[in-house]
Amino acid sequence: MSAPVSAPAFAPEELALLAELLEREQRQLLSELSHTATAAFKNQLRGRIGMVERLLNRLRPIEG
């Protein structure tokens, strides 16, 4: 049986940087999505965009 993994602790400045990086990634993915013609690749991009949005939603309440 493995030990539970604890979440890493981040300083407020680190959380702000993580949010900034995720927001940048989100913008780039949205741009790429609008320029993509392949349905399968669009679906992959949508999945990644959703993941980035979920991470941002988890960070924003902490970032405060």
List CB contacts of 55: < 8 A, sequence separation 6 or more. 22
| Range 7-24 average pLDDT | 92
Report the Cα 27 to chain-centroid distance in Å: 11
pLDDT one-digit tens code per residue, 31-56: 999 999 999 999 999 999 999 999 99
C-alpha to C-alpha distance for 64 and 62, rounded to whole angstroms: 5
pLDDT one-digit tens code per residue, 21-36: 999 999 999 999 999 9
Domain ranges (residues) in the chain: 12-63
Residue 4 pLDDT: 75
